[in-house]
Chains A and B, each alone.
Chain A
Amino acid sequence: MTRYLIRRILYAVPILIGVNLITFVLFFIVNPPDNMARIHLGVKRVTPDAIAQWKHDHGYDKPMLWNASASQTAKLTDTIFFDKSVALFAFEFGPADDGRDIGYDIGQRMWPSLAIQIPVFLIGIVLYVTFALTLAFFRGTYLDLWGVVLCVILLSISSLFYVIGGQYLIGKLLNLTPISGYDTGVSATKFLLLPVLVGVASGIGASTRLYRTIFLEEIGKDYMRTARAKGLSDVRVLFRHGLKNALIPILTGVVVIIPSLFLGSLILESFFGVPGLGSYTIDGIRSQDFAIVRAMVFLGSLLYIAGLILTDLSYTLVDPRVRLE
C-alpha cells in the first residue's frame, strides 16, 4: 500500500512538470514579459525604459532558461524559468501584480471557499443519492418518468441562471438572506446560506440522472435478481445490496473532486461577493494578472492529481476486490 502510494506520487511529478512547461510556454514564450509590461502600462506610447522598469520590479528582467552571465549553478537558477516556474514546486508563488504575496492570499482565501464548497459537496451527495434511489425504486412509473424529465430540464439551465434566479427569488423578492457579501466567524452563516443552496440546486439535474443510471445498471445485475428470487423484499434488495454496490462508482466519482474543493467556485463566489479562491481567480483573470493565473493553474492541477490518487485509494477502501500492489 505504502509502496503503491509512493509510486503514484512519483508518477505525479512528471505530470506536474508537464503542466509547468505548458504554463511556462504560454506565459513566457508565446507571450514574453515585454507584452505583459505593455498591457499593464498601456499598449501605446510606452517607453522602453518604463518596460524595463516594470520588468525589473516584477522580477522578469532575467534570461528565460539560461543565465550566461551568472556563475556556476546560478546560470540555471537565476532565470525566469527557475524563479517563476520551478519555484511553484516549493509553493513559492511570488507577488501578484499589485505587490501582494500570492501564497499568503491563497492561505487566507481558501477558508471562505471551503465554507461554501464543503456544505455544497456533503448536502449535494446525500440529496442526489436520495433522489436517484427514489427514482430507481419507482423505475418505470410516472414518478420516474417525470423525475427524469425534470432532471433533463434542470440540467439544461445554465448555472448562471441558478445564481441569478436564487438571488432574485430568495434574496430580493423574499428578502430571506443578503444578496451578496461576506463576514467572518459565525455571522458568515447568513451569507453562506444562499450560495450553498444555489450550489446544491444547480447540481440536482445532472447528478440525480447520472446516479439513477448507475443504480439501474446495478439493479440489472444477476446478484440482484438472485436476491429477489430468494424472496427478499424490493426495499431490502435496493437498499442493502444495490446501494452498497452502486456507491462504489459514485464514491470514486466524487472523491476526485474533494481536493479541488479548495479552489472554490468561480461563479458562486464572484456573484455572491465571497472573498474565496474562486473570486480570487476571476479577479486575477479580469485584471490580466498572469502571476495569479499561473499559481492557480499549478495549484489546480496539483489538487486534481491528489484527487486521482485519493480515488485509487478509496477503491481499496470500499471495494475489497481491488488490491493495489
Chain B
Amino acid sequence: MTSFKLVLLWTDTLLFVLVGVTIAGALYARQREHLRAPWRAVRRRPLGMAALVVLAGYVAVGLLDSIHFRLPLPKTDNAAAMDRLDYSTEVVSLLDMLVRPLKERVEKTYSAPFATHLYAKETVERPDGTETRGFPRLRYGGAHLADPMADRGADIAATARLGSIQGLLVWVLMIVLLVTWQARRHNLAWGELLRRVVLGRLDTPWREILATLGVLLLCGFVVGNLAAKYHVLGTDKVGPDVLYLSLKSIRTGIVIGTLTTLIMLPFAIMLGIMAGYFRGWADDVIQYLYTTLSSIPAVLLIAAAILTLQAHMAVHPEVFDTAALRADARLLFLCAILGVTSWTSLCRLLRGETLKLRETEFIQAAKAYGAGASTIILRHLLPNVMHIVLITVVLDFSGLVLAEAVLSYVGVGVDPTTISWGTMINSARLEMAREPMVWWSLFAAFTFMFALVLAANLFSDVVRDAFDPRLKSAVEPPAIES
C-alpha cells in the first residue's frame, strides 16, 4: 500500500459540502409528510426516474474525479536516507487511478476511433532500414494485433461480446438483489414481485429504472473492455484518449452546474426575501442592484470579469503554486461570476412570492404574536419559498452546463488546461476543415453533453411538475409518458 497526500481543491470541498447538504436535506424531508409528498410524485414518474439513474451515473463519475491526491515519487537514494517521502507535483484524482491505462496511453497525435494507425502520415523506418511515408502503427491502440487489417473486426466483436456478457451478468445480479429486497419489504413471493416489476405494477417504476441501468451497464462494460485495447473514441491533437477527456469533462460540467447555484443561493434567498418583506428603501436598493446587474448582457459581464481575473493572474503569478490550483481557482471564479448573472431572476421570483406571502394570515398572526423579523423570515417565509428555490436550482443546471461550452468557445470559460466539453469542442472546431474530417472529439463531447443535459432537462420537468402547484392546476400535466 503506497501512501499518498490528499489534496483538497476548493471546488472539491464545496462539491462535498453540497453532497452533505443534499443528504441532510433528504434526511430532513424524510421525516415530514408535506415534504415527502412531492418527492413521492417524482418517484412515480418513469421518465424522471430513468433520467435520475443517468444523472446518478454522471454524478458518481464526477465525485470520483473530485477526490484528489498527490502520489509519492519513487524514492531516490537521498530521500530514502533521510526517510522522507517526496510527492509528485501532479494532482491526480481517484478517477485517474481507476482509468489509469486510459490516462497514460497517449498517442502522438490524432487517431480515429478503433484505429490501429495514426491519422497523419509520417516517415516510418522499415525493418530493413529503408524509410517510407505512411501511417505508422499506434503505440497502444490495437497494438496487440499482429495483422490489424485482418484481425481487427473479429477482435472488436469478441471483446464487445465479452463486455456485454459481463454487463448482463452484473445487471442480472442487480435485478436479483433488488427483487429480493423489495419482495422482503412488500412481503410478497419472489416470483410475484418480479412479475409486478416487469408489468410495472409497483409504486416506483422499477422496470424503467432497471432498463436504464441495464443500458448503462451494457455500454459501460462494452466500452470498458474495448477501451483496454483500443481508443474507443479516438485520440486528440496531442494524443490523449478522447474517452478519457470526456470522462474528465463530466466533473467540470457538474461543478459549473451545481456550484454556481450553491454560491449564488444565499444572496438570492436573503436579498429576495428581504426586499419582499421589508419593502421601502431596502426593496428599492435591492431592486436597483439586481436591475443593474441583469441589464448587463451575461456574456459581456462574464467576459469583463474573467478578463480582469486573467490580467490579475498574469501579473501576480505567485498567488498559486501549482497549475491545478490556478485552474481550480479560475473554475470557482467562473462559477461565482455565472452565479452573479443567474442570481437576479431567482431574486426577483422570491421577492414577488414574499410580497404575496407577507399579507397572508399566518404571517399576520406571527406578527401579532410579536415574532421578530428574523423569526418570521427564517421560520415562516423561508420554508414557504423553498419550492421555488429547488425548482430554480434543478432547472438552471442544464443551462449552466450548456453555458460552459459557449463561454469556453468565446474564450472566457474555464482555464485552457481544465478539461471540459467546451475546450474539447473549441480545439476540435479548428480541425473541421481537414480531410478526412476529425469528427470524433466533437462526437464525444456532443454525446456526453447531450446525455447529461437531456437527463437533467427531463428530471427538472418532473421536479417542477411535482413542486409547483400553480403550474399543475393551470396547465394540464404534460402527458410525456402516457
Query: Which residues A257-292 have CB closer than 8 A to chain B?
Result: 260, 263, 266-267, 281-282, 285-286, 288, 290
Indicate whether A164 sits within 8 Å of B432 (C-beta atoms), given known contacts A18-B292, A159-B406. Answer: yes
Chain B residue at minimum C-beta to C-beta distance from A221: B474
Question: Which of A22, A35, A43, A140 lies in contact with B479, CB distance below 8 A?
Answer: A140
User: Would you give the shortest CB distance from B332 to chain A, in whole angstroms?
Assistant: 17
Q: Mark B420-448, 1 if CB is under 8 A from A, else 0.
A: 01000100010010000100001000100
Instruction: Give A79 Cβ to nearest chain B Cβ, in Å.
Output: 20
Task: Answer yes or no: A82 CB below 8 A from chain B CBs.
Answer: no
Contact residue among A43, A220, A281 (Cβ-Cβ distance under 8 Å from B315):
A43
Taking a contact as CB atoms under 8 Å apart, the answer to whether A30 and B312 are in contact is: yes
Size range of the chain A interface in the assembly = 35 or more
- Given A31-B312, A301-B296, A152 and B482 touching (CB < 8 A)? no
Contact A158 B405 (CB under 8 A): yes
B112 to chain A, nearest CB (A): 17
Q: Which residue of A lies closest to B461 (CB)?
A: A152
- Given contacts A35-B312, A152-B458, A285-B412, is CB(A160)–CB(B405) below 8 Å? yes
Whether the pair B310, A288 counts as a contact (CB closer than 8 A) is yes
> What are the interface flags for B453-481 relative to A under an 8 Å C-beta threshold, 1 for contact and 0 otherwise?
11001100100000000000011101110
Contact assessment for B475 and A267 in the assembled complex, using a CB-CB cutoff below 8 Å = no
Assess whether B480 is in contact with A145, with CB atoms less than 8 Å apart: yes
Q: What total of A-B pairs shows CB separation below 8 Å?
A: 138
Q: Which of A140, A285, A304 contacts B297 (CB 8 A)?
A: A304
In the complex, A168→B479 CA distance in Å? 35
Q: Considering the chains assembled together, what is the distance between the CA atoms of A93 and B213 in angstroms?
A: 57
Residues of B within 8 A of A22 (CB): 292-293, 296
A181 within 8 A of B: no
Q: Does B411 contact A (CB under 8 A)?
A: yes
- B80 close to chain A: CB less than 8 A: no
Residues on B with beta carbons closer than 8 Å to the beta carbon of A313: none
- Pick the contact of B475 from A38, A217, A301 — CB < 8 Å? A217
Question: Are A296 and B300 closer than 8 Å at their CB atoms?
Answer: yes
**B449 cross-chain contacts in A, Cβ below 8 A:** 158
B355 interface contact, C-beta 8 A: no
Q: Inside 8 A of A293's CB, which chain B residues have their CB?
A: 300, 303-304, 307
Partner of B429, one of A156, A164, A281: A164
Give chain A's interface secondary structure class: helix
Given A155-B457, A158-B449, A301-B296, A282 contacting B410 (CB threshold 8 A): yes
B305 interface residue (CB < 8 Å to A): yes
B216 lies within 8 A of chain A by Cβ: no
Indicate if B22 sits at the interface (CB-CB under 8 A): no
Q: Are A31 and B410 in contact (CB under 8 A)?
A: no
Answer whether A266 and B292 are a contact pair too, CB < 8 Å, given A31-B312, A43-B314, A152-B457: no
* Docked pose: A72 CA to B449 CA in angstroms: 60
- In the bound assembly, the distance between CA atoms of A139 and B461 in angstroms comes to 17
Q: From residue A7, how far is it (CB to closest CB) to chain B in Å?
A: 15
Q: Does B288 contact A (CB under 8 A)?
A: yes
A43 to B300, CA, bound (A): 25
Q: Using Cβ atoms and an 8 Å threshold, which residues of chain A touch B475?
A: 213, 216-217, 220
- Asked if B296 and A220 make an inter-chain contact with CB atoms under 8 angstroms apart, the answer reads no
A132 → chain B, closest Cβ, in Å? 13
Within the complex, what minimum Cβ distance (angstroms) separates B413 from chain A?
A: 11
B476 — nearest CB in chain A belongs to which residue? A216
Is residue B13 contacting chain A, with contact meaning CB distance below 8 A? no
> Do B480 and A149 touch (CB < 8 A)?
yes
Chain B residues whose C-beta falls within 8 Å of the C-beta of A164 in the assembled complex: 425, 429, 432, 442
Q: How far is the CA of A111 from the CA of B9 in the complex (A)?
A: 47
- Residue of B with least CB distance to A36: B311
A157 to B398, CA, bound (A): 10
Residues of chain A contacted by B303 (CB below 8 angstroms)? 281, 285, 293
Determine whether the beta carbon of B297 is less than 8 Å from that of A301.
yes
Query: Chain A residues near B482 (CB, 8 Å)?
Result: 145
Max count, chain B CB within 10 A of own CB: residue among A144, A155, A267, A285:
A285
Q: Contacts of B402 on A, CB cut-off 8 Å?
A: 158-159
B297 close to A139 (CB less than 8 A):
no
A85 neighbours in B (Cβ, 8 Å): none
Contact A30 B474 (CB under 8 A): no
A212 CB to nearest B CB, Å? 9
Residue contact B301 to A297, C-beta cutoff 8 Å: yes
Interface residues of A in 295-315 (CB under 8 A from B): 296-297, 300-301, 304-305, 308
Tell me the smallest distance from the CB of B87 to a CB of chain A, in Å. Answer: 29
Q: When the two chains form their complex, are residues A305 and B429 in contact, meaning their CB atoms are under 8 A apart?
A: no
Q: Are B479 and A38 in contact (CB under 8 A)?
A: no
Question: What chain A residues lie within 8 Å of B437 (beta carbons)?
Answer: 168
Q: Point out the residues of chain A lying under 8 angstroms from B410, CB to CB.
A: 266-267, 282, 285
Task: Tell me if B308 is interfacial: C-beta within 8 Å of chain A.
Answer: yes
* B311 engages A35 (CB within 8 Å): yes
Question: A231: CB under 8 A from chain B?
Answer: no
Residues in A neighbouring B432, C-beta threshold 8 A: 164, 167-168
Closest to B402 in A: A158
Q: Which of B323-360 contact A (CB under 8 A)?
A: none
Q: Which chain B positions have C-beta within 8 A of A297? A: 296-297, 300-301, 304
Bound Cα distance A30, B432 (Å): 39
Nearest CB of B to A66, in Å: 23
Flag whether A176 is at the interface (Cβ < 8 A): no
Within 8 A of B (CB), among A128-152: 139-140, 144-145, 148-149, 152
How far apart sit A172 and B304, CA to CA, in the bound complex (Å)?
Answer: 35
B295 within 8 A of A: yes
Q: Is B299 an interface residue (CB 8 A)?
A: yes
Known: A153-B454, A285-B307. Contact between A300 and B288, CB under 8 A?
no
Decide yes or no whether B409 CB sits under 8 A from chain A: yes
- 25 sample A-B contacts, Cβ–Cβ < 8 Å, listed by A number: A18-B288, A18-B292, A19-B292, A19-B295, A22-B296, A35-B311, A35-B315, A38-B315, A39-B311, A43-B314, A148-B480, A156-B457, A157-B450, A158-B406, A158-B446, A160-B409, A164-B425, A164-B432, A216-B475, A220-B474, A267-B406, A285-B307, A285-B411, A301-B295, A304-B296
* Residues of A in contact with B (beta carbons under 8 Å apart): 14-15, 18-19, 22-23, 26-27, 30-31, 35-36, 38-39, 43, 139-140, 144-145, 148-149, 152-153, 155-161, 164, 167-168, 213, 216-217, 220, 260, 263, 266-267, 281-282, 285-286, 288, 290, 293-294, 296-297, 300-301, 304-305, 308
CB-CB nearest 8 A-B residue pairs: A18-B292, A300-B297, A156-B454, A156-B453, A301-B295, A31-B308, A297-B300, A304-B295
> Given known contacts A149-B480, A288-B307, A288-B310, what 5 new A-B pairs fall within 8 Å (CB)?
A152-B461, A158-B402, A161-B442, A220-B474, A293-B304
